[in-house]
């Protein structure tokens, strides 16, 4: 019995562990001796922020306004994954004290945010935590290399409710006014009272998700991701496109509201609030993407890459 036990758990297990380490090393582009440390860090990360993600999935991320959160998280992880080979190739010059200081700040933000149910601190602390880990294990060069994935994670941090309410109200009024004016000029029987649009016998309330700060925030993230993937070196081109994303977001929101009004007018209230309502959200991003590509093309004619 003992011989059979040795045959199963001895050499086979010892041979299997290095093989698994080799596979993980190939996947992460890290040395084999670093794979175990990465695994421990990932486990600790999930133990710390797993409850946060669970809470977000059942509260904030379940709403139309903040539903982009999981997408931003996945894209940030993918952007960091794309940097894995470059990060592994960097000379290791760890800055322990700075890393520990930033880690302490991240921990305080996390504990206070979780204890007081302040999402902006609890969720935002993971950006500081990642920065601290990079400083501690790899150094300032690694932090500079990973700056955009960390910055991009800002777009998954839930915005304070008071700020959203203060900015969303005038945005919704402006979007409602422009959408109703365009449709009125096109000959549709339409009226507006604040953010309530009347078309025919139907009334539509322009919701926060349709024309609020969060949708503009999401579209800004889309534009910045596009610029990062294009890897433009011209500062002027990047700044110009980033600024133009704001009016592009406004136009995309107006287009979405107009589509919902027209669908309701021609097919009834149920159609406007059903599948087409969700489909209009996809149209929002398609319109924004087309406009970003078009504006980028125009800017490219005036601003040349160095």
What's the DSSP call for residue 67?
Answer: T
Which of 192, 210, 237, 304 is catalytic? The answer is 210
Quick check: is 210 catalytic? Answer: yes
Q: Token pair for residue 284?
A: 């929002």
Instruction: Reduce the DSSP state of residue 238 to 3 states and report it.
Output: helix
Give dist(CA 110, CA 125) in Å, integer: 5
Residue 252: closest CA among 282, 226, 287: 287
Q: Token pair for residue 300?
A: 């490219």
Quick check: is 256 catalytic? Answer: yes
Residue 123: closest CA among 60, 41, 63: 60
Degrees to nearest 5, angle at CA 266 with 261 and 213: 15
Give dist(CA 279, CA 288) in Å, integer: 14
Which of 192, 256, 301, 304 is catalytic? The answer is 256
Q: Token pair for residue 252?
A: 């995309």
The residues annotated as belonging to the active site are 210, 256
């Amino acid at each position: 019995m003992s011989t059979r036990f040795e045959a199963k758990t001895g050499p086979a297990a010892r041979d299997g562990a290095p093989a698994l380490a080799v596979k993980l090393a190939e996947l992460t582009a890290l040395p084999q001796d670093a794979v175990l440390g990465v695994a421990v860090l990932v486990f600790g990360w999930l133990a710390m922020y797993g409850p946060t993600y669970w809470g977000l999935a059942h509260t904030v991320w379940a709403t139309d306004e903040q539903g982009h959160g999981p997408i931003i998280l996945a894209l940030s992880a993918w952007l960091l994954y794309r940097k894995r080979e470059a990060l592994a190739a960097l000379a290791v010059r760890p800055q322990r004290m700075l890393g520990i200081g930033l880690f302490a700040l991240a921990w305080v933000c996390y504990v206070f945010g979780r204890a007081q149910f302040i999402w902006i601190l609890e969720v935002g602390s993971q950006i500081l935590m990642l920065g601290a880990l990079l400083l501690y294990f790899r150094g300032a060069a690694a932090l500079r290399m990973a700056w955009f994935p960390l910055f991009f994670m800002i777009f998954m941090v839930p915005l304070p409710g008071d700020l959203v309410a203060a900015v969303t109200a005038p945005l919704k009024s402006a979007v409602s006014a422009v959408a109703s004016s365009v449709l009125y000029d096109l000959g549709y029987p339409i009226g507006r009272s604040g953010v309530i649009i009347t078309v025919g016998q139907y009334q539509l309330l322009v919701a926060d998700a349709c024309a609020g700060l969060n949708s503009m925030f999401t579209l800004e993230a889309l534009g910045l991701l596009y610029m990062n993937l294009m890897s433009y070196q011209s500062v002027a081109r990047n700044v110009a496109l980033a600024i133009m994303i704001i009016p592009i977001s406004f136009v995309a929101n107006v287009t979405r509201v107009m589509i919902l009004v027209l669908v309701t007018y021609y097919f009834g209230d149920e159609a406007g609030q059903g599948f087409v309502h969700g489909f209009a959200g996809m149209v929002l991003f398609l319109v924004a993407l087309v406009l970003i590509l078009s504006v980028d093309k125009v800017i490219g004619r005036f601003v040349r890459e160095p």
